[in-house]
Structure 1
């Protein structure tokens, strides 16, 4: 699943190619995604793309008083193509601009495309946005706020990161990496983390996500940037995908366990 760094890379690509351009047409070939694609999407023809933003794992394209909200789901990508290019098998939605087009390709159709009023996007009142926690790279995500979000929680530290309640956008790969850097075992109850633990984990989350964006995200299966470039953060992981290999920090060996149906990698020697 594309995580926050991959979505941020995608956002930057869409912004670079299309900001300021006029949307000429919208084509929906497959409306049955995770939720039905709204028929009103075609009403945007003739509007100008003012900006491209990101909220958690959503790409938000702002056209005047309306916002197109795109989620890539498990296997989706946004790609830029020539306007006359043949459609690939899993291309479902196209936004046609001046000479180029933006297409959503989603083999598993777990992604989504919504259209909402800009005021609802700004107020975060839309159902897709209302329950989201703070952005990890924004000013609202502070060590103190994060510490308070862990109080009284019986779920594991890793599960809290994946839930999006304490912080958004930290998916499986980056949760494993941040927990390792903070020397926190993934299965520890979030409510048992000390203030010092939370301060280290807060810093690790920000650092890991920042580095992942610089490295173009992680490409394990489907993800590629809007221009086809593959991410390579996965080749620099400390624990993710390194089961049975030596720890880079101590003499331990990286282990793998399944938590909440997700592979979790950690070092039992130095993560407590």
Structure 2
């Protein structure tokens, strides 16, 4: 799934391509992409004669601003936009086409068919789902260290799944959480409440640093991601842990390990990111072995 750097790159690309273009008509070939309104005819009618003004982003969502409406679009797994001349062949899996009065077309292609589109009145999109509960924007001025610490709070959730929660910090997915945690020297299973102030500071800096570098490189093309002009990102060449299972850590030389944390494949350096002792709970011969006494007492109480 495209994460913040990829969606930001698409936003920047589209912002050079479609502002000033007026919609003549709209073709919807896969109605289930549409969430609001879910009627393809109504969706198309509401857009006729509208002119694109700019393209913005909230988390992993694109906000395509028109005169009098806002189109909120989520690319999900493999959604992509491209600007084409109307005479160019239409590729397979093209589900929505915005036909412009100048003879060009903005086409939305989605092999996996998981993408979504919502139409809202201006500013309405920020007050209702899917945008109203999103967390801090990590590349905006609002993402201060104090704001980050407040968002983490005293939660006992492991730090990786917490960072993947879009209500905490937006735009982070599997790739950049793994990378930021490695840069900060924090194991993904560390409970958020156990992070020391210096670790919080390192992680805050690592998130901004990692995302900024990825945006500058045009994102990471791990599978099928390209920007609005069909260009691949380059940040995959700078990844330090993600997708490098068994390869040497670029810092210490230890082999990168892969495990599952919070249901997601997770890459760590076992030397640079020490596994926290207070989650060192393993199962052996049907019995729990717990290295942390406070956790052990709680488990003993439950079992009794």
Q: Would the TM-score normalized by the shorter structure come out above 0.5?
A: yes
Count of residues in correspondence between the two structures: 270
Residue equivalent to 2:47:
44
SS at match of 2:113: coil
2:267 corresponds to which residue?
Answer: 265
**Structure 1 residues 189 and 38, CA gap change in structure 2 (3 angstroms):** farther
Report the alpha carbon displacement of residue 38 of structure 1 after superposing the two structures with TM. Answer: 4.4
Distance 2:229 2:253 in 1: 41
Match of 1:87 in 2: 90
Return the alpha-carbon distance in structure 2 between the equivalents of residues 194 and 176 of structure 1.
Answer: 19
Partner of 2:255, secondary structure, is: coil
Q: Which runs of 5+ in 1 are unaligned?
A: none
2:27 corresponds to which residue? 27
Whole-Å separation in 2 of the counterparts to 1:88 and 1:219? 20
CA contact (8 A) 2:160 2:262 kept: no
Three-state SS of the structure 1 residue aligned to 2:128 is coil
Give, in angstroms, the shift of residue 18 of structure 1. 0.9
Which residue in 2 is equivalent to 1:60? 63
Note the alpha carbon deviations across 1:29-77, whole angstroms, 9 max, x for none: 1111384744332221111111111111111111122100110011111
Residue 7 in structure 1 maps to residue 10 in structure 2: no
Q: Is the 8 A contact 1:92 1:106 kept in 2?
A: yes
What is the aligned-residue RMSD (CA, Å)? 1.4
Deviation at 1:214, TM superposition (A): 1.2
Q: Matched residues in 2 for 1:224 and 1:38: separation?
A: 29
Give the SS at the match of 2:140. coil
| Equivalent pair of 1:65/1:117 in contact (CA under 8 Å) | yes
What is the TM-score normalised by the length of structure 1? Answer: 0.95
Counterpart mapping for 1:55-134 below 5 A: 55-97=58-100, 98-121=102-125, 124-134=126-136
Counterpart CA distance in 2 for 1:17 and 1:24 is 17
User: Shift of the alpha carbon at 1:159?
Assistant: 0.6
Structure with larger Rg: 2
Report the CA distance shift for 1:171/1:5 in structure 2 as closer, same or farther (over 3 A). same
Q: What residue ranges of structure 2 are gaps of 5+ in the alignment?
A: 275-304
Once the two structures are superposed, residues 215-269 of structure 1 have per-residue CA deviations (whole angstroms, 9 ceiling, x without a partner) of 1111111111111111121111011111111111124221110122321111110
Question: TM-score, structure 2 length as denominator?
Answer: 0.85
Structure-2 separation of matches of 1:9 and 1:202: 22
